[in-house]
């Protein structure tokens, strides 16, 4: 799978075209837009300050326009829903396969089965879509980029009541809930956030940003102290969530399945689990080892 190579190639090819035009329109250099993938997937995105928030939102809006332009160029030969589902599935597979070797073969097979549906000219547009997404989140991580575009394209399932919550509402809810983050970290070393009906991940994204802001105040790196878990019965929505929390650089996973009939449990099969790149970082790997040792020790004491 050379998806990420194509993303890098797209960045180089269009540096003097659409990307430079977008950057110049906002009187900024494009020096901080380059990204190395997949290494940069787990790089902490910079949080915009209040003074720069409007400027970053405008720039992210430009990337949204470019994303839609590229997306619509594919609709001449394919249906919008199929394009969207294929895009998020292939991008999710690419992110997963950069770190998760347990599920590599099946997800590589899934990726190849999808990309073969498109001709060579169409295939290069998918890394371009990914590049627009990455740069939009780089400029403004406080947004549900995929969920917003999904609704703008009219892809929501009205019959099943599939409407993604606007980000500003989720942001308000995240700020309204009182948390003792520092206390939780002192007790177990990290904060865990769980959404059993995550959709595109808007509530998780809002909570991630709220935690990040609060941990910054006490000089703690949120990537080392925040663990995110989501679940959704809809595969496409779950992949949208997985992509965005992965790009935001948090540890965690998303499970595809019904939270009522197939809840996340200890000893659960991981066939439908999608682990973020940060999940495999050294600090979280070490933490899981200590947790396993702790459970074994507790079990031995109870049995003894």
Residue 51, pLDDT above cutoff 70: no
pLDDT of residue 11: 60
CB-based burial label for 298 (10 Å; 0-12, 13-18, 19+): exposed
* Alpha-carbon distances of 302 from 265, 295, 296, 297, 299, rounded to whole Å: 21, 11, 10, 9, 5
- Tens digit of each residue's pLDDT (9 = 90 or more) over 3-28: 666 676 666 565 445 444 434 444 34
So what's the pLDDT on residue 42? 47
| CA nearest neighbour of 140 among 18, 34, 11, 244 | 244
Residue 299 has pLDDT above 70, yes or no: no
Average pLDDT over residues 259-279: 94
pLDDT reported for residue 189: 92
**SS3 at position 280:** helix
- Conformation bin of residue 230: beta by default, left when phi > 0, alpha when psi is -120 to 50: beta
For residues 262 and 238, is the Cβ–Cβ distance under 8 A?
Answer: no
Q: What is the CA radius of gyration of the chain?
A: 20
d(CA 105, CA 249): 24
pLDDT of residue 211: 93
Six token digits for residue 111: 């990726």
Instruction: Quote the pLDDT of residue 181.
Output: 86
Q: Quick one: DSSP state of residue 40?
A: G
In this prediction, residues 245-266 reach a mean pLDDT of: 95
Residue 296 predicted with pLDDT over 70: no
Res. 196: pLDDT tops 70: yes
Element (H, E) at 59: helix 50-73
* Cα–Cα distance, 149 to 114 (Å, whole number): 21
pLDDT, one tens digit per residue, over 67-117 is 999 999 999 999 999 999 999 999 999 999 999 999 999 999 999 999 999
Cα gap 76→260, rounded to integer Å: 40
Alpha-carbon distance of 212 to 275, in angstroms, equals 20
**How does DSSP classify residue 201?**
S
């Amino acid at each position: 799978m050379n998806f990420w190579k194509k993303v890098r190639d797209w960045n180089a090819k269009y540096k003097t075209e659409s990307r430079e035009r977008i950057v110049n329109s906002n009187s900024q250099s494009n020096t901080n837009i380059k990204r190395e993938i997949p290494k940069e997937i787990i790089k902490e995105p910079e949080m915009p300050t209040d003074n720069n928030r409007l400027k970053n939102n405008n720039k992210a809006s430009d990337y949204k326009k470019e994303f839609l332009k590229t997306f619509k160029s594919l609709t001449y030969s394919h249906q919008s829903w199929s394009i969207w589902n294929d895009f998020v599935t292939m991008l999710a597979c690419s992110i997963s396969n950069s770190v998760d070797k347990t599920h590599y073969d099946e997800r590589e097979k899934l990726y190849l089965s999808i990309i073969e549906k498109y001709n060579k000219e169409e295939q290069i547009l998918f890394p371009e879509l990914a590049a627009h997404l990455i740069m939009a989140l780089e400029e403004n991580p406080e947004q549900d980029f995929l969920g917003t575009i999904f609704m703008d394209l009219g892809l929501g399932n009205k019959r099943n009541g599939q409407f993604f919550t606007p980000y500003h509402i989720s942001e308000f809810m995240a700020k309204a809930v009182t948390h003792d983050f520092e206390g939780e970290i002192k007790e177990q070393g990290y904060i865990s956030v769980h959404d059993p009906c995550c959709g595109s991940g808007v509530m998780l994204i809002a909570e991630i940003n709220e935690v990040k802001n609060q941990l910054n105040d006490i000089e703690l790196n949120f990537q080392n102290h925040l663990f995110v878990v989501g679940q959704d019965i809809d595969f496409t929505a779950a992949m949208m969530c997985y992509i965005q929390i992965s790009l935001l650089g948090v540890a965690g996973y998303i499970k595809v399945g019904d939270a009522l009939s197939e809840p996340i449990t200890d000893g659960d099969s991981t066939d439908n689990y999608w682990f973020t790149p940060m999940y495999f970082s050294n600090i979280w790997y070490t933490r899981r080892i200590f947790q396993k040792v702790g459970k074994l020790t507790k079990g031995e004491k109870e049995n003894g």
